[in-house]
Amino acid sequence: MNELENKLSSREVSEMMEMLHADLLKKIDKINEDLKKEKILCSKYWIESSYKQAGNGKENREFQITKRGCEFLAHKTTGTKGNLFTDKYMDKFEKMENYIVSDNRKALSPMEILELQFTVVREQGEKIKEVDSKIEALEDNMPLFNVECKELQGLVRRIGTKSLGGYKTPAYNSNSLRGQVYSDIQQQLKREFGVTRYEAIKRSQLDLARQIVTKYKVPVFLQGEIIKFNNQIQF
């Protein structure tokens, strides 16, 4: 097995060491200064690379750390943290070794090796997706934003005006009747979502709220009042 083919991202290593990734980068940079002074190849331990930050695509530094590099860092970390880190990285490399070398010592294909090299990256990606999913769930359960409240208010007025027969019709011009229709639409939303103010509707329910308002039907007693007002003969 070629040890250099099997590496862990410094982001994953920093997580196992329970330290900030930025602090681990500084630690490795300091070690590299000493190695380079003595003309020792840093690539025995790690190779500098980069990754794109989720969301904005920004390029950030990282190192691909070999098993030997992890052993180097383990010797630099004493006590319980050092012991736990050693256990974690040994498990990781044992897992990769089991993939690369089968029971009969047959090497994997280039495609399988390439897939293995990205195992750690995929694991990191799954963690990011999990965090994104939690953030999305939190946003969906938040109450409507102010701009969304105004949008819903505007829709209530438009549907209410349409239900009254249109803008400036006799029914519309009746402040009392117009207020009853607008209030009835709002009351329906409150009943549907079990809230005291329709502004308290969850963001995940906004599309459903739009549908309820759009499909609103005037109650029979209000419909009779609207017809009576709009059929009045204007002298």
Kindly report, residue by residue over 100-150, the tens digit of the pLDDT: 554 445 555 666 655 666 665 666 666 556 655 655 655 666 777 788 888
Do 103 and 172 sit in the same domain of this protein? Answer: no
Host domain of residue 31: 3-140
Report the alpha-carbon distance of residue 226 to residue 184 in Å, rounded. 14
SS3 49: strand
pLDDT tens-place string over residues 28-64: 898 888 888 888 788 888 899 998 887 777 889 999 9
Report the alpha-carbon distance of residue 235 to residue 229 in Å, rounded. 14
Do 159 and 186 sit in the same domain of this protein? Answer: yes
Question: Is 166 inside any structural domain?
Answer: yes
Question: Is 235 inside any structural domain?
Answer: no
Model confidence pTM above 0.85: no
Domain count, the chain: 2
Question: Is 167 inside any structural domain?
Answer: yes
Closest-CA residue to 198 (of 209, 207, 190, 206): 190
What is the chain's length?
Answer: 235
Do 132 and 26 sit in the same domain of this protein? Answer: yes
